[in-house]
Amino acid sequence: MTLLPQEIIRRKRDGATLADEEIHHFIQGLTSGHVSEGQAASFAMAIFFRGLSVPERVALTRAMMNSGEVLKWDLPGPVLDKHSTGGVGDTVSLALGPAVAACGGYVPMISGRGLGHTGGTLDKFDSIPGYVTQPDIDTFRRVTREVGCAIIGQTADLAPADKRLYAIRDVTATVESIDLITASILSKKLSAGLHGLVMDVKFGSGAFMDNADDARALAESLVLVANGAGLPTSALLTDMDQSLASAAGNAVEMAYAVDYLTGRKREARFHEVTVELSAEMLVLGKLAADIVEARAKIEEAISSGKAAEVFQRMVTALGGPSDFVERHHTHLNAAPIVRPIHAERSGIVQKVATRDVGVAVVALGGGRTRPQDAIDHAVGLTHLAEIGESVDADRPLAIVHARSEEAAKAAERMVRAAYTLGDAKVEPGPMILDRIGVKS
């Protein structure tokens, strides 16, 4: 057996099943720098087209997990986390982590940056002045222990192979691979030393898996591999046929999350998904006897303001302003051009090409086309109209937040094209399609 990177790529390109040793050797090379960016891209593309068997998937996950430190915790409560497969306006982590911590869980959430048309939790936290999104491990441990929640990015110590491959996938059209998504997500989560994990697997026009069957296959892969590795995991299939929050961007989503936690704005669709995912975490962590009790605990944590308090403590502990929750609008950067995007005709929103809405945010500067690109945290879209909602001269499709007149006009064209209007009344589908657990 040859362990040359190019031979491993060739074997997978030709449809061979790779041995554990080959996968581990390639990932070691990716971590050390002996595997080039071009070779990593070719490896990802070969997997994209040829796929991995379940044993290969497990081997890739373990290899990336073991490419760095694997955390162990000594805390008085369960260590829990949630991960989303990505979407537009998916601001759930910002509210969920503090809410679960307020109920007695410990949430060391290792988040990623934006991939393709989807926003990244880490990019949203980068919009907070002073917030350190990549602290050292000791700080990560301390904040998790003292606050109950720490939302950070991958450090050099945790799953470094995934960090490198993640950035390459973003710009080589290899994001939508069940095998790579499974290994990427779970390598980070397993390295965090969790006791329970809930997956938010999205389907629809704004998700990487645009139909429910593909999303179900991904959810089953994640649940199978995670539980096989000893991490109790379940998954919810959630709708992404429109932006989950009415804001899409970085600072605008951060402001949305704070408004949600403080009760200034609480939209039904976003609230439902946040509560259900949080409740699932409490059940996995044995902090509630059943889902009904868990929902009640999460609702109380949010409505009482306890979750907002945890959020502020986390922001302060990681270097952000001590009055951020109270005065977030004064701390977040604002775009110089803010104006409504009106539809060319009045009507009822029939459907939304949600991916195109996300692409509009990227085009504004709120996302990346190359791994090294800087992000403009101020730009984005707010007040996005929902399916079934009427738009007219008083109710725009959205409000654009842009850096330049040219960028604003381009976003306006893209948003108008993403919305289909009609005269018929429309009821959007259910937010949560199904729950995927371990098959007995």
Catalytically active residues, by annotation: 81-84, 121, 169, 184, 188-189
Token pair for 405: 């007149």
Nearest to 41 by CA among 366, 355, 368, 370: 370
Residue type, 398: A
Which residues are CB-contacts of 314 (< 8 A; sequence separation ≥ 6)? Answer: 97, 98, 143, 147, 149, 150, 151
Question: Distance between CA 37 and CA 308 in Å, rounded?
Answer: 41
Q: Decide if 129 contacts 296 (C-beta within 8 A).
A: no
Contact 183, 162 (CB under 8 A): yes
Q: Which amino acid is at 178?
A: I
Beta bridge partners of 108: 150
What is the C-alpha R_g of the chain?
Answer: 21
Q: How far is CA 321 from the centre of its chain?
A: 24
For residues 175-193, one letter each, b for 16 or more C-beta atoms within 10 angstroms of the residue's C-beta and e for the rest, the string is bbbbbbbbbbbbbbbbbbe
Say which residues have a Cβ less than 8 Å from residue 199's Cβ, sequence separation at least 6.
82, 83, 84, 85, 185, 219, 222, 223, 233, 234, 235, 236, 436
Interhelix angle for 54-65 vs 212-228, to 10°?
60
β-sheet bridge partners, residue 139? none
248-249: strand order across its sheet: 248-249, 380-382, 398-402, 337-341
Residue ranges of alpha helices (H) inside 87-177 are 92-102, 121-125, 137-147, 160-170
Alpha carbons 305 and 262: distance in angstroms, whole number? 6
Q: Are 125 and 133 in contact (CB under 8 A)?
A: yes
With contact defined as beta carbons under 8 Å apart, do 400 and 394 qualify? no
Q: Is 302 left (phi over 0), alpha (psi -120 to 50) or beta?
A: alpha
Task: Answer whether 436's CB lies under 8 Å from 241's CB.
Answer: no
